Structure 1
Amino acid sequence: MSRRTVIAAVDGSAESLAAAAWAAREARLRGLPLHLLHARQDRSPLFSPALAGGIGTASDGTTMTRHGAEHVLAETADRLGERHPDLDVSVDQVIGRPAEVLLSATEQAEVLVMGSRGLGVLGGFLAGSVSTPVIARAERPVVVVRPGGRVEDGAGGGPASSQYLDVVLGLDLSRPCDELISYAFEAATARAAGLRVVHGWTAPAVFDHDPAAADPGHRVARGLREASALTDVLRPWRGAFPQVEVTEQCVVGRAAHHLVDASSNASLLVVGRRIRRAPFVTHVGPVTHAVLHHAAAPVAVVPHL
């Protein structure tokens, strides 16, 4: 793959097929090719006759033969090609540990798309032992999609204008990184959609050492400062993307709760994750962890320093 692609991890499960369908729409929006990838981990003893067919793990925990995986990939590619005839679709099977295969693939990915059952359970070979390290260690954006969640408007392939709900960005003003903000603005631009930026802040407890915490005016002043800081951070991005209608929301309380609520009326929820290069890291942060489990919309996790 000589240029970046949209990669969808496919294992035959309903979750992965939903991810592939979403990935196809994303590839069309971004004018990029789509690559369907199946990771097949050989669990047979060395020199076993079972190696002749090759095995992989299917969504129900049973094994999938090499030819079965090929059939799933070909069938998925054909279905997406019929729906999006102008889309460049390729397929591939790779033998290896699924998490390592997917992490390696992200080096060539504009975005990696994975399927989820929601509420903390990722399906098929995308079970927690695979999905968690991929999301936690990938240095390219990873989008998690689940069947039965919100289907993006515009899915029929018509003109994008006025067909997509807002993109929602969760932004921590202590780390307003360019990668995260850029991804959200680009996603909104591709969809001709609005962008809602949600920043959550916590009011000091009355019993804290600050006596001003008991003064209602203190909370109002703090809210105004937070809103002003959010406006300042977004000002250059508004200038760079004048076509995107931006709504700023400064909310009091846990950011994850507000973002999950916002996802019920969004085409995409974008959150960040700090890059940690330790080999066995699985931490994604409390806000990202919460929205991955409970958001109604697809969730894009964007790594940043």
Structure 2
Amino acid sequence: MLPPVMAGVDGSAESLAAAEWAAREAARRDRPLRLVHAWNQQPCEGAGPPSAAAQRRVLRQAEDRIRRTCPGVEVDAEQVEGPATGALLHAAERAELVVLGSRGRSGFTGFVVGSVALGVVARATLPVVLVRAGEEASDEHLPAGDGSPSTRTGYQDVVLGLDLGDPCDEVIEFAFEAARLRGARLHIVHAWQEPSPLGLGPGEIGLVHGPEQADEWLGFLDAVIKVWRDKYPEVEVVETVAEGRARSVLVRAATGASLLVVGRRTSERPAGPRTGPVTHAAVQHVGCPVAVVPHE
């Protein structure tokens, strides 16, 4: 059996939006969809364990929504026991892609990502997509001619945030494949800043300034991407190099995108698994779905 697209569901609005997005992605990839509900037999103090009926209701609600909105997708569902982060990571070992709701249920406003989603992103060995509550199928598409939302138009850009100091094949390939599956344009973005005397950057780029440095970065980006352009000739690519902090440049570039793709280094650090500052900013502040792709 082909590995499924997996969605974690907990009955929240964001997890239902994530499940629906996962169903659309499963259809694009010609994969089955697996809905997973994690429950803890030893909950926080003062809260009792969820009843079996409540657990079944969470999965049934998500299944009903998927069958109503994406009737052609093969769906199965399972309950897993244990602390949510660990249970979801264990279930994800059999998946191709994990999709989670990205806003926590703490009652905060703004783009606050829950601890479970952050924990899975920081530790997963496969791509994780975070989807916000309220995400609709039409949000992925260009508006109709009259400006109204539509699912019959082409897809908005897939945006790839690329660190040219560490261009990773896994991240680049995921972005190109996502654009191919959607028939979307791929917008590749790299942010650069004037180097300090202690770090001039790749090659001789740090020896030039201003527009000349931007041109050098663009040439470097072209060289890195050439093999992928050849592998995916059907994908239209547009490249942007912008001076500024990477997190700010990326948040601006992802406005109106159908998907943002960023990377996460998997090597252990003294403080344990982390998402990194740019990826953390993306999952906290970008409004479109964000795919975090692990790499060595």
Identify the TM-score tier after normalising by the shorter chain: 0.7 to 0.9
Residue 7 of structure 2 corresponds to which residue in structure 1? 8
Matches within 5 A, 1:269-288: 269-277=260-268, 281-288=272-279
Larger Rg: 1
AA aligned to 1:153 is: H
More deviation in 218-227 or 228-237?
218-227
- Counterpart of 2:31, as a letter, is L
Q: CA deviation at 1:226?
A: 0.6
**For residues 7-47 of structure 1, what are the alpha-carbon distances to aligned partners after superposition, in whole Å with 9 as ceiling and x for unaligned?**
00000011111110111111111110000000011027xxx
CA distance in 2, matches of 1:264, 1:97: 34
Q: 1:220 aligns with which of 211, 217, 224?
A: 211
The answer to whether the 8 A contact 2:11-2:61 is kept is: no
Q: What is the SS of the residue equivalent to 1:271?
A: strand
C-alpha distance in structure 2 between counterparts of 1:283 and 1:191, whole Å:
30
**2:142 and 2:156 in contact (8 A); partners too:** no
Q: In structure 1, which of residues 68, 84, 97 is the aligned counterpart of residue 54 of structure 2?
A: 68
> In structure 2, what is the Cα distance between the partners aligned to 1:15 and 1:82?
17
- Distance (Å, rounded) in 2 between the aligned partners of 1:62 and 1:264: 41
In structure 2, C-alpha distance between the alignment counterparts of 1:157 and 1:26, rounded to whole Å: 17
5+ residue gaps in structure 1? 45-56, 211-215
Q: From 71, 76, 80, give the equivalent of 1:94.
A: 80
- The residue identity in structure 1 corresponding to 2:67 is G
1-structure distance, mates of 2:237, 2:212? 23
Q: Which residue of 1 aligns with 2:107?
A: none
What residue is the counterpart of 1:139 in the other structure?
125
Residue 38 of structure 2 is matched in structure 1 by 39
Q: 1:100 to 1:219 in 2, by over 3 A?
A: same
Task: Determine if contact 1:7/1:109 at 8 Å carries over to the other structure.
Answer: yes
User: Counterpart of 2:282?
Assistant: 291
Deviation at 1:85?
1.9
Deviation at residue 141 of structure 1 after TM alignment: 0.2
| Paired AA for residue 242 in structure 1 | P
Task: Give the root-mean-square deviation of aligned CA atoms.
Answer: 2.7
- Equivalent pairs counted in the alignment come to 276
Residue identity (%): 45
User: 2:34 and 2:142 mapped to 1: Cα distance?
Assistant: 21
C-alpha distance in structure 2 between counterparts of 1:164 and 1:120, whole Å: 24
- Cα gap change, 1:278 to 1:258, in 2 (>3 Å): closer
Write the distance in 1 (CA, Å) between the matches of 2:119 and 2:269. Answer: 11
C-alpha offsets along residues 57-90 of structure 1, whole Å, 9 cap, x if unaligned?
8xxx875322212122122112211222211000
Which residue is equivalent to 2:94? 108
Instruction: Give the corresponding residue for 2:180.
Output: 189
Q: 1:235-260: per-residue Cα shift (whole Å, max 9, x none)?
A: 11011111110000011111111111
Pairwise CA distance, 1:163:
2.1
Q: What TM-score results when the alignment is normalised by the length of structure 1? A: 0.83
TM-score by length of 2: 0.85
Give the structure 1 partner of residue 256 of structure 2.
Answer: 265
Equivalent residue for 1:172, pick from 163, 180, 195: 163
1:153 match: 141
Given the alignment of the two structures, is residue 82 of structure 1 paired with residue 68 of structure 2, yes or no? yes
For residue 194 of structure 1, report the CA deviation from its aligned partner. Answer: 0.3
Mark the runs of 5 or more structure 2 residues left unpaired by the alignment. 105-109, 144-148, 200-206
Are 2:228 and 1:242 equivalent residues in the alignment? no
2 CA distance for matches of 1:262 and 1:138? Answer: 26
Check 1:280–1:217 CA distance in 2 against 1; reply closer, same or farther (3 A cut): closer
- Look up the SS of the partner of 2:50 in the other structure: strand
